[in-house]
Chains A and B, each alone.
Chain A
Amino acid sequence: MKDTELLAKQIRIHALKMTSQGGSSHIGSAFSMADIIAVLYGGAMKVDPLDPRAADRDRFLLSKGHAGAAVYAALAERGFFPVEKLSTHYQDGSDLSGHVSHKGIPGVEFSTGSLGHGLPVAAGMAKAARLKGEQHRVFALLSDGECDEGSNWEAILFAAHHQLNNLVCIIDYNKIQSLAPVAETLALEPFVDKWISFGWHVIEVDGHDHQQLKDSFLPHANSTNKPLCVLAHTTKGKGVSFMEDTVLWHYRTARDEEFNAALAELEKSA
């Protein structure tokens, strides 16, 4: 198993334990982006657990903050804070909130939880880097349902207008949102065409294929002067057969037999 694949497996196992123990939700959302997070924190992004605020670090903003468990897990596995801390997630008095928070958590760039906030802030950070002549990149990870928010489209216009090719917007396109499939809620298709017509460079990938993800995150993957959208086709609940591609596991907490079955599947995955 490659390093990033092992990391993805660890992220899924942590996220399952964290959400089950906390009685919290969004395990399906955490699973769908676990491979993306693993590739980013497994080497695609320049980050240093020993110097989390290094000026030349790449910035990562989880805009779909409800899947924060996956980011906490990745940061812990990468050594930003002790893995043991993950067990406090969602518990009384913890600073590991259900939606991702930066306060007291080394490595978390930005707190979210209300959708549609990450990309505008990321665009501002990318603009700042450009103005200051800095070379790092800014990554924002959005859900598909989140693209209903108008604020994103304001930022999409802004980033293209300002030619922020140091900005990477990743869409976790699992095609299921809170109550129903995206296509039945507020259709996004033709989604690629929308990004292109808004002036972005688009790379479509299988969001569970680590090589495709790695390639799309290479600095030279975007040789244009446009911001980059990595449209990652994913499966909600990826990694646990009975969670995959269901609306139910957006909110449901795995307990007892479901938890044991899910954990067993994840642990034996290669």
Chain B
Amino acid sequence: MRDQFIERLSEMAESDPRVMLVTGDLGFGVLNDYRRRFPSQFINAGVAEQNMTGMATGLAMEGFIVYTYSIANFTFMRCLEQIRNDAAYHEANVNVVSIGGGFSYGALGMSHHATEDLAIMRALPGLTVVSPCDNWETMEAAQALAATPGPSYLRLDKSTAGETNYPGEVFELGKARRLREGTDLTIAACGGIVDEVLQAADQLREQGIRCRVLSVHTIKPLDTAALVSAAQETGGLLTVEEHNIVGGLGSAIAETLLDSGVFVNRFRRIGLADRYSSIVGSQGYLRSKYEMDRHAIIAAVKDLLNGAAIKKAA
């Protein structure tokens, strides 16, 4: 996703001199080509995320379309107040790009596990929050965010769900994409972990269980209409995210369904069970370890369809 983001950003920079990439001293190798081609549209702010974000706001208030770039939590957590008070309150076009959502940097340890970002970012008024599932969504979102007023958060992932788009498909922020049809249950997910969801859905299909799969790439604003119709047409939802169970996609969906007066008997959230991981490992290993991989998804779907509405507390 990272490479596709840079690829699309390069295309944008070529045609629009307002596009500015600001890195917090990360992107070795990855940013070389961009930097060489667009030296006046690139700033390395150094290892100084607060100034990076405040300075990016200053650039944006003067008309630039700014993308701040770093890995995992560094783009938004140290400089959260700068995102809130500076970028968001001033409706500045600062697009915060985090490379390494979830357990993308799983082996590097807890500091690099980005598992609360969606919850934190979606709590800020005025932000658009996007977690693409594949390279196509990444490229389309990167471009669409330039035209979106105010700041945004773009969570990129090491893993991808492959090629999920069909020829001629038009991407729209805030519109969930239906990746599989089905009426037995809906699995709503975001990020690279949609890969696990699709594998699970395809295996379930072989067993006669047909799940609708939604890529909810935009966590905010949420596609309430698609989620309400999914609940009404498939009778329930399983949400999947590589993120803390608190406050992310699953929480957002639960909120919007209840706010819409939609009550489902089958609902469950898959995610990290409100904890930090002191165990390290690859993204795949940690998904398995914390029961959010395709096996866990299949088990949860079957559990829900067997009438288990509520998961027993661990």
Q: Which residues of A line the B interface, CB within 8 A?
A: 102, 110-114, 116-117, 119-129, 131-132, 150-151, 154-155, 157-158, 161
The answer to whether B59 and A127 have CB atoms under 8 Å apart is yes
Q: What are 30 A-B pairs with beta-carbon distances under 8 A?
A: A110-B61, A110-B90, A111-B85, A114-B81, A117-B86, A120-B55, A120-B57, A120-B82, A121-B55, A121-B57, A122-B58, A123-B58, A124-B54, A124-B55, A124-B58, A124-B60, A125-B58, A125-B59, A128-B61, A128-B62, A128-B63, A128-B64, A132-B62, A132-B63, A151-B50, A154-B46, A154-B48, A154-B52, A157-B46, A157-B51
Restricting to B40-73, which residues have a CB under 8 Å from any CB of A? 40, 43, 45-46, 48, 50-64
10 additional contacts (CB under 8 A) given A110-B90, A158-B45: A111-B85, A117-B54, A121-B57, A129-B62, A131-B40, A132-B62, A151-B82, A157-B46, A158-B51, A158-B55
Tell me, yes or no, whether B89 is within 8 Å of chain A by CB. Answer: yes
Taking a contact as CB atoms closer than 8 A, the residue among A112, A121, A132 that contacts B58 in the complex is: A121
Q: Decide if the interface of chain A is mainly helix, strand, loop or mixed.
A: helix
Say whether chain B's binding surface is mostly helix, strand, loop, or mixed: helix
Q: How far is B58's CA from A154's CA once the two chains are assembled, in angstroms?
A: 15
Tell which of A114, A117, A125, A157 touches B48, judged by Cβ atoms closer than 8 Å.
A157
Bound CA–CA A157/B59 (angstroms) = 17
B82 touches A125 (CB 8 A): no
Nearest chain A CB to B77's CB is how many angstroms away? 14
Tell me the count of chain B residues lying within 8 A, CB to CB, of chain A: 26
CB distance from B302 to the nearest CB of A (A): 50
Distance of A45 Cα from B64 Cα, bound (Å) = 24
Would you list which residues of chain B between 182 and 215 have a CB under 8 Å from chain A? none
7 nearest A-B residue pairs (beta carbon): A124-B58, A120-B54, A128-B62, A154-B51, A124-B55, A154-B48, A151-B50
Q: A125-B62, A128-B59, A131-B40 are in contact. Are A158 and B85 (CB under 8 A)?
A: no
Which residues of B line the A interface, CB within 8 A?
40, 43, 45-46, 48, 50-64, 81-82, 85-86, 89-90
B51 vs chain A, min Cβ distance (A): 3
User: Taking the nearest CB of chain B, how far is it from the CB of A110, in angstroms?
Assistant: 7
A146 to B58 alpha-carbon distance, docked (Å): 19
Q: Is the CB of A125 within 8 A of B54?
A: no
Chain B residues whose CB sits within 8 angstroms of the CB of A113 once the complex forms: 85
Q: What chain A residues lie within 8 Å of B89 (beta carbons)?
A: 111
Chain B: CB-nearest residue to A158: B51
Q: How far is the CB of A103 from chain B (nearest CB, A)?
A: 8
A122 to B62, CA, bound (A): 11
B85 touching A124, Cβ below 8 Å:
no
> What chain B residues lie within 8 Å of A116 (beta carbons)?
50
The CA of A234 and the CA of B220, in the complex, are separated in Å by: 47
The reply to whether B51 and A120 form a contact with Cβ atoms under 8 Å apart is yes
> B52 — which chain A residues lie within 8 A by C-beta?
154
Most chain-A CB neighbours within 10 Å: which of B46, B51, B60, B82? Answer: B51
Docked Cα-Cα span, A117 to B90, in Å, equals: 13
Kindly list chain B residues whose C-beta atoms are within 8 Å of the C-beta of A132: 62-63
Q: Quick one: given A131-B40, A157-B46, are A124 and B56 in contact (CB under 8 Å)?
A: yes
Q: How many whole Å from B75's CB to the nearest CB in chain A? A: 15
- Quote the shortest CB–CB distance from A126 to chain B (angstroms): 8
